Amino acid sequence: MKVALVTGASSGIGEATAVELHKAGYTVYAAARRVQRMEGLAAQGIRVLEMDVTRDESMVEGVKQVVAEAGRIDVLVNNAGYGSYGAVEDVPLDEARYQFEVNVFGLARLVQLVSPHMREAGRGRIVNVSSIGGRIYEPLGAWYHSTKFAVEGFSDSLRLELKPFGIDVVVIQPGGIKTEWGGIAVENLRKTSGGGAYAGQVRQLSGVFSQMGRASEPKVIADVIVKAAEARRPRTRYAAGFGARPILFARRVLSDRAFDALFLGAMRRFA
């Protein structure tokens, strides 16, 4: 039975991914800081693991536990992450650094810890959950988008490094998904820049985020992750969820100025 480690598994995409991999026959270790939120996963036979991707000792001990109990890790799903929004001049650099710690450096550290075991086995699959935000941009989202652009570039280089050892690296690019992410992003946005010079942009971008009611269920992304884990020759990227493909298509075919105008128009429309 194959073994999968899924981070950020206490809710949303991570929780749904743990469930769907378990259904697909994997021994699943669901990792998150909020262990109490994963009681439902444990009741289904999924193994829950306390892990904080901003604490090195937590990640080291977590990987050691999985390898000690299961003997190997076949699939790593790096899903832990959040969106920190606000004007660049308003966001404290400590918050910007923390955004990178969670979204980029935690992901990278788990790759460092897991890839030696995969190399030794001569096979493995690393699935990094990025976002369409790793290809597009928004005002007031500079730090979040920076982290996702970093995940995209990191994953591309990593794919070439690990290919000779039989390890595939896959990027998942969700569009709009019904998770806690949107609420957290809007809360951070309003708290950081809602009362200053950028208040008008905050109102407009909050209007765009209000469309998350039309977003896809987390299972849509979980199903894509299972597909990426199981495919004999996986694609390097999978885009799925509300708006993902048309938005990425628009970004490919439009100039920067044209895409700027498209996005700013959408902000005015939803304000």
Active site residues: 144
Beta strands in 85-212 (DSSP E): 124-129, 167-174
- Asked if residues 85 and 182 have their Cβ atoms less than 8 Å apart, the reply is no
Helix/strand/coil (H/E/C) assignment for every residue in 64-75: HHHHHHHCCCCE
- Asked if residues 14 and 79 have their Cβ atoms less than 8 Å apart, the reply is yes
Query: Angle CA(243)–CA(5)–CA(80) in degrees, nearest 5?
Result: 45
- Asked if residues 141 and 85 have their Cβ atoms less than 8 Å apart, the reply is yes
Amino acid at 249: F
> Among 216, 170, 227, 174, which residue's Cα sits nearest to residue 20?
227
Question: HSE (CB half, 13 Å, CA atoms) of 37?
Answer: 14
Residues 6+ apart with CB under 8 A from 127: 75, 76, 77, 78, 170, 172, 225, 228, 229
**Helix (H, G, I), strand (E, B), or coil: what is residue 236?**
coil
Question: HSE (CB half, 13 Å, CA atoms) of 6?
Answer: 30
- Asked if residues 225 and 172 have their Cβ atoms less than 8 Å apart, the reply is yes
